[in-house]
Amino acid sequence: MAIKHILLGILVTAIWGANFSVIRLGLADVDPFALACARFALSAFPLVLLVPRPSTRLRYVAGYGALFGGGLWGLVNLGIHVGVPAGLASLLLQLSAFFTIVLASLVLGERIGRQQWLGMAIAGAGLAIILLAGDAGGSSWGMVLILVAAFAWAVCNVIVRQARPSDMFAFLVWACAFATLALVVLTLCVKGLAPLASLATNLGPKAMFSIAFQAWVTTLFGYWVWNSLMKTYPVSQVAPLSLLVPVAGLFTSHLVYGETIGGAKLLAALCILSGIAVMFFGARLAFWRRAQAA
């Protein structure tokens, strides 16, 4: 990957890490299902009325949107609803990086190099340290839902790689319309009409900021950049960057809410950063060493 694209990917993961603190801000006033519905509705409308439908086959757009809304964020909210702590949910969700790489290898035939395997092992150890050092509470059923959500995100990544939309922004806007429909249906099935009916009365300044940030910065900008990288580069080179999300989330929570970062979490962050460095720069370093020896 080009350095500028690596930096763009890091910026997106930093935004996604901060997004969990922004979600927490919105959840103070708004039901989690209603918050997710509002996020994707604002991502899609009114842009879907202004942006022409992408030339990509509709099944890719609809499939991505349904999985993105209902399969990813709908199941995350449902998992949190049945008892999984939000912090644990955000960590389990990053297993999508591993699911994506393996799925791309099986479906698209992409090769996974030794540096990728080694880097994933190091970063995976860091993720395990965070899980063991944090609150591992929550229902087993809820954690299964989060794992399914992580797999749904992996499928979304592979859909983008397979479809390679010519206009990524239009693809994302129209997919968010399908994501909104999927989330509304899931909300009605799980909690009925009450969360959606009470949304307008609970929209204070904090909730409005939370929804706007999630819609325009996290979703439209973040996934536009992310999906563009997925379209351009092999999945095994892009997906590992998502492992930076819990690291960014830890430091954002520390800055915004004053949450303590212990030694174990710092060690975990170092492992994740080291693993990603191996995945992205290990091959270049090995090539440089061989050139020096020659």
Q: What is the pLDDT of residues 138-171, one digit of tens each?
A: 567 887 888 899 999 999 999 999 999 999 999 9
Q: Which residues contact 126 (CB under 8 A, 6 or more apart)?
A: 243, 267, 268, 269, 270, 271, 272, 273, 274, 275
For residues 82 and 139, give the distance between their C-alpha atoms in angstroms, rounded to a whole number. Answer: 7
User: Which residues are within 8 A (CB) of 105 and not within 5 positions of it... i.e. 6 or more apart?
Assistant: 111, 112, 236
Say yes or no to pLDDT of 289 above 60: no
Contact 101, 230 (CB under 8 A): no
Look up residue 248 and give its two tokens: 């960014």
In 3D space, the residue among 260, 226, 219, 227 whose CA is nearest the CA of residue 244 turns out to be: 226
Q: What pLDDT, on a 0 to 100 scale, did the predictor assign at position 293? A: 56
One-letter amino acid at 181 equals L
Counted domains in the chain: 1
What residue type is 245 in one-letter code? Answer: V
* Structure tokens belonging to residue 276: 């990603």
Instruction: Tell me the average pLDDT across 83-93.
Output: 73
Q: Which domain holds residue 284?
A: 3-293
Rounded CA Rg of the chain: 19
More confident of the two residues 263 and 290? 263
Nearest Cα residue to 150 out of 236, 215, 88, 83: 88
Q: Yes or no: say if 240 and 122 are a contact pair by the CB < 8 Å rule.
A: no
pTM of the model: 0.84
The predicted pLDDT at position 63 comes to: 96
Q: How far is the C-alpha of 231 from the C-alpha of 157, rounded, in Å?
A: 9
pLDDT tens, residue by residue, 228-280:
999 999 887 888 888 888 788 878 877 877 767 777 777 877 888 788 778 76
Q: Is the pLDDT of residue 281 over 60?
A: yes
Listed residue (190, 150, 159, 226) closest to 32, CA to CA: 190
The pLDDT value given to residue 184: 94
Lowest mean pLDDT among 90-104, 181-195, 251-265: 251-265
Residue 215 banded pLDDT, cuts 50, 70, 90: very high
Quote the percentage of the chain above a pLDDT of 90.
43
Work out the percent of the chain whose per-residue pLDDT is above 70: 90
Residue 285's pLDDT is 54
Maximum alpha-carbon separation in the chain: 71
Contact 231, 165 (CB under 8 A): yes
pLDDT for the residue 268: 79
More confident residue, 125 or 224: 224
Amino acid at 48: V
